[in-house]
């Protein structure tokens, strides 16, 4: 699977649509290389080369079958890397019997491995989630995706991993359950993992909801219609993670609404005056007009409660069945999922 001078993409004239020759995609050989690879670096090279080939075939309008062949190698490499990363000690004092993670007499830790391989922690985490997919289910995913002539993607594999984890952690009896059916409009204010209790440095009070890890938030199964518009609330502290959450959910971010609270809040480096709501879509949802700006000025009330004017804004823009996930109160025209639900005044 190695890309050398003979297998580099042709530089020909503009418009040259000659794809990689089929012979360059050595599927069986690539799988053998993965089986023999003993370091994350070796596996990552195979993965990156497979992705480079897939992108080139796609750009040159090569066959979909060849694109998926390269994509399959990439996916298998990500799973292999994930398996290896899981076994690497997180702390210098931890022991391991895997000599592949030792550099001479020095034990290479997880963080050092990520740094040496220029791997972002979120990427490493996602590869480990892919590695968690049972072998039979992963092979079934490969076969069924090819049979349907769909594109093999890491996002689809990640979706399977998150769904399996969600099924393994069913809500206990008495916990609120998600409403039945699909929704055209979803607002969600996740219980981001700030720490759960008052923090003297960040000056945060305890969240009204049990906080969840980023992984647990990614595992949420959203009852979204094929054409859905979603509003994801976040703060400055979790803006980066919010985009990875949207990617895990299979949604495409489009814009950001910023809520100015008309008062200065608390914070460690800068005192908070704003919260942000990322507008993301799935499919082609309907939006009634595009005159709304990216700012919302409204007073803050109870902790984590969003202003009524926000919901009025969403109602004016987004027709269809509406769901408020982790909402704090009942609202006419909306269904609400959450354990901290306050009954609407009669």
In DSSP terms, which residues pair with 323 in a beta bridge?
Answer: 186, 335
pLDDT at residue number 92: 56
Residue 12 domain flag: no
Rounded Cα–Cα distance for residues 282 and 264 (Å): 35
* Boundary (domain end) residue, out of 137, 166, 195: 166
pLDDT at residue number 158: 82
pLDDT at residue number 303: 59
* Boundary (domain end) residue, out of 105, 140, 166: 166
Residue 11 domain flag: no
Query: Of all helices (H) and strands (E), which one includes residue 102?
Result: strand 102-103
Q: What is the dihedral of CA 241, 242, 248, 254, to 10 degrees?
A: -140
pLDDT at residue number 257: 97
Our count of domains for the chain comes to 2
Q: Are residues 142 and 205 in the same domain?
A: no
Q: Are residues 109 and 189 in the same domain?
A: no
Residue 124 domain flag: yes
DSSP structure string for 81-95 = HHHHHHHS-SSTT--
Rounded Cα–Cα distance for residues 310 and 322 (Å): 14
Q: Which domain holds residue 303?
A: 183-337
pLDDT (tens, 9 = 90+) of the chain, 346 residues, equals 444 433 444 443 334 444 444 434 467 788 788 888 889 999 999 999 899 988 988 898 888 888 899 999 999 999 999 999 988 877 655 444 444 444 444 567 888 888 899 988 778 888 998 999 999 999 999 999 999 989 999 888 888 887 777 666 555 444 567 788 899 999 999 999 877 544 434 444 445 557 888 888 887 888 999 899 999 999 988 999 999 999 888 899 999 999 998 776 656 677 778 999 999 999 999 999 878 899 999 987 765 689 999 999 999 999 999 999 988 788 999 999 876 555 544 3
Instruction: Write the CATH number for 194.
Output: 3.40.50.150
Output the six-digit token pair for 158: 């990640």
């Amino acid at each position: 699977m190695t890309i050398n001078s003979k297998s580099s993409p042709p530089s020909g004239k503009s418009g040259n649509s000659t794809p990689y020759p089929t012979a360059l995609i050595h599927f069986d050989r690539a799988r053998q290389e993965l089986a023999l690879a003993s370091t994350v670096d070796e596996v990552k090279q195979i993965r990156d080369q497979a992705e480079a080939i897939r992108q080139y075939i796609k750009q040159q309008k090569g066959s979909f079958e060849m694109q998926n062949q390269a994509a399959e190698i990439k996916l298998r490499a990500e799973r292999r890397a994930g398996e290896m990363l899981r076994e690497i000690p997180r702390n210098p004092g931890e022991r391991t019997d895997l000599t592949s993670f030792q550099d001479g007499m020095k034990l290479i830790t997880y963080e050092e491995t990520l740094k040496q391989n220029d791997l972002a922690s979120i990427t490493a985490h996602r590869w480990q989630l892919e590695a968690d997919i049972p072998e039979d289910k992963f092979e079934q995913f490969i076969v069924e995706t090819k049979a349907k002539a769909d594109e093999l993607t890491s996002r689809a594999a990640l979706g399977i991993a998150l769904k399996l984890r969600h099924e393994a952690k069913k809500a206990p009896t008495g916990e609120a359950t998600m409403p039945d059916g699909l929704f055209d409009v979803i607002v969600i204010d996740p219980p981001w993992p700030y720490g759960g209790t008052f923090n003297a440095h960040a000056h945060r009070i305890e969240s009204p909801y049990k906080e969840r890890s980023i992984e647990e938030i990614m595992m949420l199964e959203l009852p979204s219609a094929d054409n859905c518009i979603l509003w994801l609330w976040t703060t400055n502290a979790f803006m980066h993670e919010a985009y990875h959450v949207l990617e895990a959910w299979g949604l495409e971010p489009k814009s950001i609404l910023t809520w100015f609270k008309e008062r200065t809040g608390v914070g460690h480096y800068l005192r908070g005056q704003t919260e942000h709501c990322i507008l993301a879509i799935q499919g082609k949802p309907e939006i009634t007009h595009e005159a709304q700006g990216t700012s919302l000025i409204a007073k803050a009330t109870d902790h984590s409660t969003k202003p009524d004017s926000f919901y009025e804004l969403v109602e004016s823009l987004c027709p269809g069945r509406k769901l408020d996930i982790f909402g704090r109160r009942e609202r006419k025209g909306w269904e609400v999922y959450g354990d901290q639900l306050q009954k609407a005044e009669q």
